């Protein structure tokens, strides 16, 4: 009985020790990750333009067709005199809005195959910090669901890092339940290996009030290509379960088919909402995703705004 009790006690303590060790490792890695994030943000900042959108402000953005029912004092008569249509002069929206960024730091993210030198967790943090820096420079506010309130502080990276460190262990793959407003956006940085029903349910909940959304699956190249053969011992990091495979190469086709099906389920949930879905491999530069992600941000909200006002896409003219 004593031996069994000791074994049970050790099984209870082991996950705690693992979590404590992981937290210490994360704290030790923070200075390096912050420096990498600043470098990544600086490398793309000068090539980016403001995420322009219609709203109250002083700077001209575009002309658009006048819609029936709008106040006549909104018509720009000087521009309208040049052809047979009435036009409204839109200004660029200058009020900041909030972007919620969720970096998945669950156990499955602490993985790096021999093909790369960086774990998925570290890449998620570099992307989250760099994106936060870019957004705050652009006049936006950044928040982390359940950890950090919206902030436009110029030291946003340090604030994000502090919030994450103080959270400690016990990270979940998906963010805690939040419902961003229609003028807000959420960015999900995760390997997305949770059951598809859980991912779909999380997206459905977050999208209730019509925010913009961007889902990024961060994967190790080994997870993308399954380059295994022979006898391999696989370990599930979330549960600790082990699976020994005699001829791993025989699993490759079924594995890739399951991955494709899993991703299609996610796309079927994001696409109808106007959310973006991207796949980012850790053997690719972080700046590559930052540029494409920043370019996508705000587009979903612009589409929703135009639908509400009855303006069709393409009915604009530069000044």
Instruction: List, for residues 262-276, the tens digit of each pLDDT value.
Output: 999 999 999 999 999
Residue 92 has pLDDT above 70, yes or no: no
Instruction: List, for residues 53-68, the tens digit of each pLDDT value.
Output: 444 444 444 667 777 7
Q: Are residues 88 and 99 in the same domain?
A: no
Residue 118 has pLDDT above 90, yes or no: yes
* Residue 217 bridge partners (DSSP): 190, 279
Q: Are residues 134 and 80 in the same domain?
A: no
Say how far residue 69 (Cα) sits from the centre of its chain.
38
Mean pLDDT along residues 117-144: 94
Average pLDDT in the chain: 81
Cα–Cα distance list, 284 to 33, 178, 220, 287 (Å)? 16, 31, 10, 9
SS3 call for 283: coil
Q: Is residue 161, in this structure, part of any structural domain at all?
A: yes
Q: Which residues form the domain of 257?
A: 30-50+94-307
Residue 10 has pLDDT above 70, yes or no: no
Mean pLDDT along residues 136-145: 92
Beta-carbon contacts of 61 under 8 Å, excluding residues fewer than 6 positions away, are 52, 53, 54, 90, 91, 92
Q: Are residues 167 and 68 in the same domain?
A: no
Q: Are residues 161 and 65 in the same domain?
A: no
Alpha-carbon distance of 93 to 61, in angstroms, equals 9
* Residue 277 bridge partners (DSSP): 215
Total of domains in the chain: 2
Residue with tokens 């040049």: 82
Q: Are residues 40 and 87 in the same domain?
A: no
Alpha-carbon distance of 112 to 227, in angstroms, equals 14
Alpha-carbon distance of 159 to 145, in angstroms, equals 14
pLDDT score recorded for residue 43: 87
Look up the CATH number of the domain holding residue 106.
3.40.50
Q: Are residues 173 and 270 in the same domain?
A: yes
Q: Is residue 17, in this structure, part of any structural domain at all?
A: no
């Amino acid at each position: 009985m004593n031996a069994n009790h000791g074994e049970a006690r050790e099984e209870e303590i082991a996950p705690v020790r693992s979590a404590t060790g992981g937290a210490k490792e994360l704290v030790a890695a923070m200075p390096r990750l912050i420096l990498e994030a600043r470098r990544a943000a600086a490398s793309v900042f000068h090539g980016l333009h403001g995420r322009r959108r219609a709203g109250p402000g002083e700077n001209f953005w575009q002309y658009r067709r006048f819609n029936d029912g709008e106040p006549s004092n909104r018509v720009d008569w000087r521009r309208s005199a040049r052809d047979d249509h009435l036009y409204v002069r839109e200004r660029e929206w200058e009020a900041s809005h909030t972007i919620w960024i969720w970096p998945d730091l669950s156990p499955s993210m602490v993985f790096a195959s021999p093909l790369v030198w960086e774990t998925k967790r570290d890449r998620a943090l570099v992307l989250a910090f760099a994106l936060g820096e870019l957004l705050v420079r652009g006049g936006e506010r950044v928040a982390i669901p359940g950890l950090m309130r919206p902030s436009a502080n110029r030291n946003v990276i340090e604030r994000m890092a502090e919030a994450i460190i103080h959270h400690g262990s016990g990270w979940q793959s998906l963010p805690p339940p939040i419902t961003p407003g229609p003028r807000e956006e959420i960015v999900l940085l995760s390997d997305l290996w949770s059951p598809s029903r859980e991912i779909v349910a999380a997206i459905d909940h977050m999208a209730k009030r019509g925010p913009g959304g961007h889902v990024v699956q961060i994967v190790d190249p080994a997870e993308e290509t399954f380059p295994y053969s022979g006898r391999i011992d696989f370990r599930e990091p979330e549960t600790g379960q082990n699976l020994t495979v005699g001829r791993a190469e025989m699993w490759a086709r079924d594995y890739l088919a399951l991955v494709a099906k899993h991703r299609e389920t996610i796309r079927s949930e994001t696409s109808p909402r106007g959310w973006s879905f991207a796949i980012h491999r850790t053997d690719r530069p972080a700046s590559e995703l930052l540029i494409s992600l920043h370019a996508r941000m705000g587009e979903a909200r612009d589409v929703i705004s135009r639908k509400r006002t009855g303006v069709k896409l393409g009915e604009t003219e530069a000044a």
